[in-house]
Amino acid sequence: MKITVVGAGAVGATCADNIARKELAEELILLDIKQGFAEGKAIDMMQTAALLGFDIKVKGVTNDYASTADSEVVVITSGLPRKPGMTREELIGINAGIVKGVTENILKYSPNTIIIVVSNPMDTMNYLTFKSSGLPKNRVIGMGGALDSARFKYYLSQELGCSPADLNAVVIGGHGDTTMIPLINHATWNSIPVTQLLSKEQQDKIVADTMVGGATLTGLIGTSAWYAPGAGTAAMVESIVRDEKKLISSGVYLEGEYGQDDISLVVPVILGKNGAEQILDFQLNDQEKATFAKSADAVRSMNAVLTEMSLI
């Protein structure tokens, strides 16, 4: 098993570190465009092997896509991180060209790989990757739902005073501050609906805090978060390479599911050895359906920029 992470920045390196600790492959390639950057990160990680007890081989390379050949899974984190006050949408013009180039180079050496897109704005970058790669839709998956759902569980756990691990809660829609939809009516604490345990005011606060979870951290840290995004991506990789069949909200290309076509949005997905193996229908109520449609409209407006830039 061979895995590649493209982009050795904070998110990519954290994802790679999680993959190494979990020993999800025999070889992990960390690739970056900055000379020596990935190599240094890889050596640093390998020097923790004796301390943490893993045996995976981590190799860093500078723009050497040949070294990524025959990767079963490729994670793309390339692109600029979000700065304070910057929306994910504003990143389109910069990151679209980067992600498309990375995809083309990866497929030269790993034509049968499964791609996980982390780069922002994720929904649009995942749509671009699917359209430009020619891969079947089960092999192009966007990370965003895993992160947003983890943040949702965090805010729920703070109000409930419970372990986040005891919660089942998912976020769907666009991976953006105004487009994500935390499904509060579907969230449970060990099978107990959280709506039975929380006031409407508490529920509304949790949903609002989840939606601005990324922006909150950007304002505090000065750049995008990396621990949770890296861990969320690694969890997706793990479900795929170990064929765990876990339900993880993920960005996938829709062809009628949830009433949407020709768009990539976050929905509940089963991740296994074939990638996004099944999209689950959560039977949304009328209000949730309307909110999902509104989210889709917002993402489509971002996707239109790709056409304007002649990228698809």
**Residues involved in catalysis:** 175
Strands 180-182 and 171-173: antiparallel
Query: What angle in degrees, to the nearest 10, is found between the helix axes of 200-211 and 145-160?
Result: 140
Pairing label, strands 188-189, 192-193: antiparallel
d(CA 84, CA 108): 36
Nearest to 264 by CA among 236, 233, 298: 298
Cα 82 from Cα 100, distance rounded (Å): 19
- Run of H or E including 187: none
Q: Could you give the angle at the alpha carbon of 181 between the alpha carbons of 179 and 185, nearest 5°? A: 165
Give the Cα separation of 237 and 115 in Å (integer): 10
In angstroms, the CA 41 to CA 34 distance is 12
CB 226 within 8 A of CB 220: no
